[in-house]
Amino acid sequence: MERILERGGMDALVPAVVLVALAFAMVVIAFGMESVAPGVHDALHDFRHVIGMPCH
Amino acid sequence: MLSIKDSLKTGALAGVLWGWLCYLANYFSGIFPFESSFTQNLLSFTFGGAVFGIVTAGLLAVLGGFLPFRRMVFKAVFISVTLWLALKFAGDILSIMEPERFHMVMPQAVQGILLALALGAILGLLLGRGRQAAAGNA
């Protein structure tokens, strides 16, 4: 029973961690946060403008 | 019922398709003149689209049960538009705080919210099909 619960917990934990990490990545992409990920502003500049996020 | 893992995979697929749709929509609308090469944009729109698609699908998997809609496509559109509005709101605050760094451009914002609707529609249709297939296999 404990093993089943542990496996169930881990199965849910991995997608949850991926989701939180990608949500953070999405914010970094949306605002071109160079201080967090150097190069992200230029790399996704056109994408950010096309989806209507404010940029320079 | 799809597992959260399957939802995220479907979100990645929907997001990649949506990224390419974003490129095509802007190519035809001409609202933002592309500054990068086609190859770089192909990569960045694919990657950016996948990230947005996965996050939207994840939020849908977590919050979908609380939404007052029966059809998956309406739930997905609600989540994607709400997410876009939240990001836009935060961006507008940044624009007020740092006007020389962040500019608000209305045509791009209109295109953006229409594309957010499109992401919800693509994701909702793909998840709806996935759910039907899962129910058929059960």
User: Encoding tokens for residue B6?
Assistant: 């399957």
Question: Is A30 a domain residue?
Answer: yes
- In DSSP terms, A55 is beta-bridged to B103
Number of domains composing chain A: 1
pTM score: 0.90
pLDDT, tens digit, for every residue of B71-127?
Answer: 999 999 999 999 999 999 999 998 889 888 888 889 999 999 999 999 999 999 999
- Domain presence at residue A44: yes
> Tens digits of per-residue pLDDT, A6-28?
556 677 788 889 899 999 999 99
Which segment of A47-51, B17-21, B133-137 scores lowest on mean pLDDT? B133-137
Q: Which of B49, B22, B114 is nearest to B77 (CA)?
A: B114
Q: Show the domain range for A42.
A: 22-56
Surface-to-core class of residue B96, CB atoms within 10 Å of its CB (0-12 exposed, 13-18 middle, 19+ buried): exposed
Chain A touched by B86 (CB under 8 Å): no
- Residue of B22, B41, B48 with shortest CB distance to A29: B48
C-alpha distance from B63 to closest chain A C-alpha (Å): 13
SS3 A52: coil
Task: Tell whether B18 is within 8 A of chain A (Cβ).
Answer: no
- Residue in B26, B40, B87 closest to A53 by CB: B87
The amino acid that residue A16 corresponds to is A
